[in-house]
Chains A and B, each alone.
Chain A
């Protein structure tokens, strides 16, 4: 089930440095929300608050609220393991585990208690089909995932997240390390995935945001300048700074 996320008055600090200032945003189910902005604007920091990956970094603090399907996820008593099971993440650089393709896909489900071999087999096939990788790798599932090309590795990483049956998929610049053809395939894939998931994607590539997203949010210096329907943001932005950025005057 795709989730609805509401972010209220979110501040984020690395030590004394405030990386996010009072972010308010709603992320809708079955839509692709693109986060754009120049390097260091806080978009990656923001996406990592949604599955609390920033908890892993020492000396970070967060204020405000993030509500996932009516439940506040920044509270201490929230089980981050449970949260990350529901909110999957794909990273900038493909990071398959140094294991077989098969082992990569079942890494999460197996450790969450699915032991039945035929169930796992089915999960592998389904997840790899979801990312259009099945036909390319079905004869070498037991070979190392590191032997795949960069684009295949990234699709495997997406399949690995999907195998957990998440509600939300976070993608932090998933195509920035890939060639144009692999990028295109991932973009097509993301468009298909939005039928079932809530997708948030950070991208440096404005054409990409314009091509694939429904909603675009523009970040600058840790602030959310504006967000709305992608076509409006790219054709009639309200804020001068947004217009300057999307027309390539800076960034």
Chain B
């Protein structure tokens, strides 16, 4: 081998090492900020986190303040959001993947759905305010908030479900059709059972995004101070991110700390949602 060749190998090895280091560094920066952030929140908030914090309504006095109404509000809003978004999203995905023909109109729909996934959430908030709060007269209710969040996460659920449906092997579908099954029987018989883990994972991740949203709910009119529990979908409400946002905008430093405690609760909620997604996926995958 010529000397130039050997030099070349050395240079390539150096380049490789340099980029290896740079890529590791960029990973490290992201993780470091995350760790610092979480550490700061834990330091500030952990001391304020106790059972009273969960079971008390918000208060002017930091020592008495709690997240009862925000936690219950979040559960109400997310339950309704799931109720609306899951059937709509999965239904749309089934239509696009299994029923609609490949045409310009289908492609247009597809592009629009992908674009909608990138629209800032505040825009959905304005839409929710105009349509659900004003036009439909649902007012500043749990229903308005859920419908707004449904619109927000619908594109994500549709795209994730489409991917799951695409992953169903063609041989399974053919096997079903060859037994004289209609399209709908094939969808319920082999397509959905196979795609369900992927669809559930996508849906839960989308819902956990909705749990963390504050901006659109502020537009729709969530309240910063709610000292009662909602009794139905038409009631006023607040949610965890709104409550946290409200506390962080107060001047007293104690409120900063209970905001941190609220963030911890929110994080626990989000992580458990993701854990459920993983458990569901594993459970259904094992069955296959």
Contacts and interface: CB of A to CB of B under 8 A. Distances in A.
Given A51-B178, A112-B180, A91 B172 contact: no
Contact of A93 (B101, B171, B185, B288): B171
A97 B174 contact: no
Contacts of A161: 178-179
A183 B101 CA distance: 39
B190 interface: yes
Contact of A53 (B169, B178, B190, B287): B178
B252 interface: no
A97 B178 contact: no
Contact of B180 (A85, A91, A96, A99): A85
B118 to A, nearest CB: 30
A56 B181 contact: no
Interface string B162-181: 00000001011111111111
A164 interface: yes
28 contacts: A51-B178, A53-B174, A53-B178, A56-B173, A82-B180, A83-B180, A84-B178, A84-B179, A84-B180, A85-B180, A88-B178, A88-B179, A91-B171, A91-B174, A91-B178, A93-B171, A95-B169, A97-B175, A98-B190, A98-B288, A108-B180, A108-B181, A112-B180, A144-B287, A144-B288, A157-B175, A160-B175, A161-B179
Contacts of B101: 58
Interface in A32-56: 51, 53, 56
Interface string B78-105: 0000000000000000000000011000
Interface residues of A, number: 28
A101 interface: no
B171 A95 contact: yes
A133 to B, nearest CB: 17
A166 to B, nearest CB: 9
Q: Which of B169, B189, B193, B287: most chain A Cβ within 10 A?
A: B189
Contacts of B180: 81-85, 108, 112, 164
A161 B179 CA distance: 7
Given A53-B178, A95-B172, 9 more contacts: A81-B182, A84-B177, A84-B178, A91-B171, A91-B175, A95-B174, A107-B179, A144-B288, A146-B288
